[in-house]
A and B are shown apart, each in its own frame.
Chain A
Amino acid sequence: LPVMSKQGEHMKKFKNKGKDTDSLRRQRVEVTVQLRKAKKDEQILKRRSISFSVLGQSLSPGEDKRDEVIPLSLEEIAEAVNGSNTKLQLQATQAARKILSKQKDPPINQIIELGIIPRLTEFLGRSDNAALQFEAAWALTNIASGTSSHTKAVVEAGAIPAFISLLSSPHMHISEQSVWALGNIAGDGPLYRDALISCSVIPPLLALVSPATPVGFLRNITWTLSNLCRNKNPYPPLNAVEEILPVLICLVEHEDKEIISDSCWAISYLTDGSNDRIQIVVDTGILPRLVELLDRPELIIMTPALRAVGNVVTGTDEQTQAAIDAGVLAVLPRLLRHSKTSIQKEAAWALSNIAAGPGQQIQQLITCGLLPPLVELLDKGDFKAQKEAVWVVANFTTGGTTEQVVELVRSGVLRPLLNLLLAKDSKTILIILDTISNLFLAAEKLGETERLCLLVEELDGLEKIEALQNHDNNMVYRAALNIIEKYFSGEENPDLQPGTDQDGLYDFSVEKQDFDF
């Protein structure tokens, strides 16, 4: 039966309910909407030729006058770099660096075509000439900051080992520049990231972290470390992760916001994977700190911390329990009510995975007062957040005990849930219909079917479900039909009469004030 197979598919999305224990939790669906929006912004800013009054003050008339370097043509640069006069070499390298550092459209391709990259790489090794080393390192950093092919040009000239040995340069500004260059190379993707790791970039990089390191330098190091943790397919090697983690744990305790932010991002990358990778992070005992950071007002800190914690609760029941023990349930209500919709959505996503846990975790969720903010979000949240909230309810009704489900209904979840049946998104509708079936299963156990029927009708749910029988989507139509036939067909089953009421203990009715709006 197709209904059954759909059910099976659905089950796989919850942890511990299907057979495939590895892919139980829902992984993040990439946020395509944001990308779309970014594109949109680009498009908006195309000029329309209506009228162009030239801006009175030009941006940079006087600025270049301070430049002490005589501007050289690209040919002159190439010639001097390849020549043997050290003074000219330095001048030309600096000129190249300046060209590559200007704000708009640096001519990276042209510089690469000059064929000077091998030579610049060679300059990195001139430990007798620190100025030349620095200028070359900066120029190469900016070339590597371009596209993948630009980075490739730098790597293929042999810059990786050269930069790694410069990490230990006695001159701090040179080792800082090297950290930056290596960050750009690592950021290119898993291939170069692993190439760096196998060239032993990690020990000298970690050695730079000390209480005496200036904040600016430390920011660069943290960012580069985060790039070494970043990207999947494949994930970074486990031993590298184990090497970096202890230092990340220290960095996340730093007081500088950017350092905290980048180290949280690193941790979020490390937790975005299989349960054994999550375990390594959980074992460091970082969770309490992450939960503490969830309470920070700054978005640059809260966002990656929430991402990391959200990743952890996709893991095993024990890993999820560790997050709960660290106090995540206490901060989630605030996040569910956060003004930024992306935060609401991430928070609801995390909660949906906690609701997918065993009964006692669901119980904690209730005890910590998550139901009221959940109902609010379901009612008034942004649609993307509402979808996540629907998942919370779906998971809850799948794994919760009958008593817990009763508690959920009493918190007023039914009205906003039924309202969302008007959504345009069939997948969401299907999940809601499944959830409603789950609610009826619970009601049947209590002999309260009739009452739930009444409640659904009273909230205009029945007409919405009936309307769905005309839905274009076949699965929606069938699921709706199924509910109608089973519970609203009119032939009243004598077993389900309200007479079997169990002394009002499991009262489905919600307090009246929840109804009127």
Chain B
Amino acid sequence: LLFLQRVLLLVASDVDALCACKILQALFQCDHVQYTLVPVSGWQELETAFLEHKDQFKYFVLINCGANVDLLEILQPEEDTIFFVCDSHRPINVVNVYNDTQIKLLVKQDDDLDVPAYDDIFRDEEDEEEDSENEHDGSEPSEKRRRFEEDIIERTMRRRQRREWEARRREILFDYEQYEYHGTSSAMVMFDLAWVMSKDLNDMLWWAIVGLTDQWVQDKITQMKYVTDIGILQRHVSRHNHRNEDEDNSLSIDCMRIAFEYDLRLALYQHWSLYESLCNTSYTSASLKLWSVQGQKRLHEFLVDTGLPLKQVKQKFNSMDVSLKENLREIIEESANKFGMKDLRVQTFSIHFGFKNKFSASDIVYATASLMENVEKEGPETTNFIKALDSLSRGNLDKLHQGLDLAKKQLRAIQQTVTSCICTNLVISQGPFLYCSLMEGTPDVKLFSKPVSLCLLSKYLLKSFVCSTKNKRCKLLPLVMAAPMDVEQGTVIMVGIPPETESSDKKNFFGRAFEKAAESTSSRTLHNHFDMSIIELKTEDRSKFLDALISLLS
């Protein structure tokens, strides 16, 4: 990866992408590579950014965008333009895989891509020619023609074989492209690169951790994959941080240390109160069914069981008695087990800046994501992106704290919305999937016009719904969720998520399904998001679109 020229960095709006971007920026800085950074939130922006810069740049780096479409087809670049694509979106478009001159994919070697074999999807030109006379495309006739063996049986045989091959190709591609899912976090891929180049620093390692944690928080990868990747990162952590263990108390203020931990799966609890965190964490709230009166009672029984004084539980975690904090994890875990919450313990990492500040990786993810989707306008579109990016640097604690505040607001809003959706039966079964639509005027609805927040809400809602319903069939259904996007233009944002089951492979078929439903009803949709399962749709077209989706998936 040796750049001699200025590079254009196109970065998607998710936390993993930001982390990968931070690592790459650090690498560029140490190699004195000049670059320009452009945030892109969707395909339209990507295309515009490319058109605007294609004359000045030859090298483009795409982070968490671009892998799952035919880039050469949509961008029509010059022949000497080169794209480096580091993107966790799967499946990777086959043309991107097999073009090794203009598209350079940054992928972890052991990632299982399952790409169809070259010969199954591409044919050499010469084979095409034979049948080209059948493809009435209106191009000029050829100047010279060769006469082939004209055995009619052979010709029809060949044509039949070709048809069979084409049918097989369609089938293979269909299987390959049917489900969307995510591969290794881009931040981890980038860190790997730094490590191979022997330029990895502790900061970079932390970003890789945050990138992976983002995938986990957003529920993009399986539990298996998460645990495996945690293991990989843990080895790097001990390599980078072992020297501090002996001199435990000799850390200076600006020193940072990363530690592996078994921590509680409670969102932001170290910066909140235990009580608030228990109420607003999807896992505990769904398990205890906090939307109901009984649920609230259960919560109190649970707290009584832990033996922690309610006053302590409700005050800021920082101000809790130190003596209580000592065995806090064990105490809570023990009671949680009794209340059926067996997975309250998670493997994660935390970072210490000096003595005072300690953050867990998921704290950072929530904070950064909230900064990025902050709906309170503060200047141009890119402000949020830059702020979110800055909050990842250790020197910017104030931005980070602002992010934590926003994240608390967001989690509260999600929790309240989930409660009201379940209490007013807004989640309805449409047959092949569950459907929930937020009305204009619902509190905090503006927050959910943003993709990451809406996805988070959908996941929380589905989890809670599965715990609330007694209908066994409904527990296995995926969820489609819609929220108002732009009232003036009359559009909604719609997302589809896979079913919430223990063995879920996190594969999502809604991308293709949305595409087909839109096509068959000629609904005015915009597939602008890098996740194909998130679309924008004209409000008037929603009912015919849903009808088509139902019949398509039935």
Enumerate chain A interface residues (CB-CB to B < 8 A).
Answer: 36-37, 39-40, 42-48, 50-55, 57, 59, 63, 66, 98, 100-106, 138, 141-142, 144-146, 151, 177, 180, 183-184, 187-188, 223, 226-227, 230, 257-258, 261-262, 265, 298-300, 302-304, 340, 342, 424
Contact = CB atoms under 8 A, between A and B. Distances in A.
Nearest to B78: A36
B112 to A, nearest CB: 11
Interface string B114-138: 0101111010111100100100111
Contacts of B115: 50-51
B149 interface: yes
Contacts of A37: 76
A300 B136 contact: yes
B326 interface: no
Given A141-B146, A145-B145, A227-B143, A48 B51 contact: no
B370 to A, nearest CB: 34
B79 interface: yes
Contacts of B102: 43
Contacts of B398: none
A187 B144 contact: yes
B72 A55 contact: no
A55 B147 contact: no
A81 B120 CA distance: 42
A146 B141 CA distance: 16
Across the A-B interface, the 7 shortest Cβ-Cβ residue pairs: A303-B138, A299-B138, A187-B143, A145-B146, A300-B136, A145-B144, A53-B117
Contact of B148 (A36, A101, A144, A223): A101
Given A51-B117, A103-B126, A46 B99 contact: yes
Contacts of A265: 140-141
A54 B149 CA distance: 27
Interface residues on B, range: 35 or more
B154 interface: yes
A457 B210 CA distance: 50
Interface of B: 51, 72, 76, 79, 95, 97-102, 113, 115, 117-120, 122, 124-127, 130, 133, 136-149, 151, 154, 157-158, 161
Contacts of A187: 142-144
A253 B98 CA distance: 47
The secondary structure that dominates the A interface is: helix
Given A45-B122, A227-B143, A63 B99 contact: no
A43 B95 CA distance: 11
B153 to A, nearest CB: 8
A47 B117 contact: no
B117 A262 contact: no
B145 A183 contact: yes
Given A52-B117, A55-B119, A103 B130 contact: yes
Contact of B144 (A66, A98, A151, A257): A151
A340 B138 CA distance: 11
B141 A184 contact: no
Given A45-B124, A46-B98, A59-B161, A40 B148 contact: no
A281 to B, nearest CB: 18
Nearest to A302: B138
B146 A52 contact: no
A442 B149 CA distance: 67
B97 A48 contact: yes
B37 to A, nearest CB: 22
B98 A101 contact: no
A226 B136 contact: no
A98 B120 CA distance: 29
B161 A98 contact: no
Given A45-B122, A188-B143, A300 B138 contact: yes
